[in-house]
Every structure is written in structure tokens, then in C-alpha cells.
Amino acid sequence: MEVILLERVEKLGQMGDVVSVKPGFARNYLLPQKKALRATEANKTAFDAQKAQLEAENLKRKSEAEDVAAKMADLKVTMIRQAGEAGQLYGSVNARDIANGVTDAGFTVSRSQVSLASPIKTLGLFPVAVALHPEVAIDVTVNVARSSEEAKIQAETGTALISKDEEEEAPEAVPAAEEIFEEEVLAEQAAEEEAEEATEAEEAPAEEAAEEEETKE
């Protein structure tokens, strides 16, 4: 399906571009969110007539978003969660939680404005992009901790508060896995070499017999 973009859409194009998208993406997202119009001749004509006004409105919204982004610089939001000694959460922090945290800090945003590929499931400090406009985004630091006190320490140190024993054990798991993998590879190579030797041993008598026949002839 072809649509006319009414604003910049990441990985698709800029305002005014006519792009081809999957029908479901257009019906479920672009059209209801008023980010695009069906690329009919009537809509193309209407867009061309309003293009200057739309561009002016877009510049105004962009300027307002840049002002908000300047106020949000270095914004940190704290998420208190229960977690194990290794830092694994008993639950997670999702886009809605972050949007609520940013809103509580005085900047109203929706879940759809938070760019989070997958929920946060460990303690620590995480930069998360928040889109204030199609052309303006800012990183917000999400501080996931067990308590306000630990969140303060994490903010000061820049690292998650997890058990030192767990920290020391984790790196050792990688070499162990590598050693097991190397052993498996060596075992496979040895098996292949034995198979090749066995094949050569079987083929040798046949080759000798063939050579004797040629000599007799």
C-alpha cells in the first residue's frame, strides 16, 4: 500500500514522501496515528495544497520539542524493584513504567514515545531514548535499584549494586564454556582423523591389488 507521510517516520522517509508499506502497518499504525494518508490522487492534491502550512506546523512542534529536550537534559528516573543477589529482577521494567516515571518527573510522555527493545530485567543504569518529536529524541537514564538508598549509590558510582561473589563467578563461566567447546572440537577432529585413517587402510589393499594386476598385464 502506498501512503503519503505527514511527518518524518524513522526508516521510512520524510514529510511528503510517498512510500510503499505493508497494509497492516498502514491500517494499524500510520493512518490511525495520523502519520500518513493513503496515496490517492485526491489526497496528493490536498497535501500539496497544505504542504507549506504542514511544514510550518512541523517546525513549530520541533522547536517546542527541542525546548523540552533541553529541560530534560541529564534526567534520571528511578525504578524500585525486588531483585536477587546477582541483580536479576523479580519482574521487569517496561516502556509504560518508564513513561510514567518521566511523567512523574514533570514531562508528560506516552508509552509509544519510549524506545525500549525489550523490558529491563536487571539492576543498573540504562540510557533509554524518548521521542519528543519525529526529529527530536533524548536519552533518559533509568536507574533500576532495590531501594532509594541503593539507587542513590548507583547514581553516584555509575554501577549496579550486585553481590561481588556473583560478579567474580560470572566471568569464569565464559572460559569454562570455551574450554568445553574446544574439547568438543578436538574430539570431533580426532574422530574425523580416525575415520580417514580407517578408510585409507581399507582402500590400501584394493589399490595394491590393482597395481599387481597392471604389472601382470
- Is residue 27 located within the same domain as residue 89? no
Instruction: Extract the C-alpha cell encoding 178.
Output: 570455551
Total Cβ atoms within 10 A of residue 116: 19
Cβ-Cβ contacts under 8 Å for 33 (sequence gap 6 or more): none
Shared-domain flag, residues 64 and 93 = no
Q: Is 58 found in the same domain as 102?
A: no
96 and 30 share one domain: no
Burial readout 135-161 (b: 16 or more C-beta within 10 A, e: otherwise): bbbbbbebbbbbeeebbeebeeeeebb
The confidence score (pLDDT) of residue 184 equals 47
Q: Cβ distance 37 to 43 under 8 Å?
A: yes
CATH number at residue 104: 3.10.430.100
Residues 24 and 7 in one domain: yes
Within this chain, do residues 81 and 59 fall inside the same structural domain, yes or no? no
N-to-C CA span, the chain? 78
- Which of the listed residues 23, 43, 69 is the one where a domain comes to its end? 69
3-state secondary structure 118-152: CCEEECEEEEEEEEEECCEEEEEEEEEECCHHHHH
What span, in angstroms and rounded, lies between the C-alpha atoms of 89 and 102?
21
Residue length of the chain: 217
Same domain, 114 and 138: yes
| Shared domain check, 181 and 153 | no
The Cα 143–Cα 158 span in angstroms is: 10
CA 138 – CA 128 distance, rounded (Å): 8
Residue with cell 524513522: 10
Same domain, 154 and 188: no
From 28, 47, 69, give the residue that closes a domain: 69
Q: What amino acid is encoded at 201 in this protein?
A: A
Identity of the amino acid at 26: A
- pTM, rounded to two decimals: 0.67
44 and 102 within one domain? no
Q: Based on C-alpha coordinates, what's the Rg of the chain? A: 31
The verdict on 81 and 63 lying in the same domain is no
Ordered per-residue pLDDT tens for the chain, 217 residues: 999 999 999 889 999 999 999 999 999 999 999 999 999 999 999 999 999 999 999 999 999 999 999 999 999 999 999 999 899 999 999 999 999 999 999 999 999 999 999 999 999 999 999 999 999 999 999 999 999 999 999 999 998 888 655 444 434 333 433 443 444 444 555 555 565 555 555 554 544 544 444 444 4
Q: How far apart are CA 139 and CA 125, in angstroms?
A: 12
Q: Specify whether 123 is located in the same domain as 99.
A: yes
Where does a domain end: 52, 69, 86?
A: 69
Domain with 44 in it: what CATH number?
Answer: 3.40.5.10
| Residue that has been written with the C-alpha cell 518527573 in this structure | 105
- Split into its structural domains, the chain has a count of 3
The boundaries of the domain holding residue 39 are: 2-69
Cβ(58)–Cβ(7) below 8 Å: yes
pLDDT value of residue 177: 38
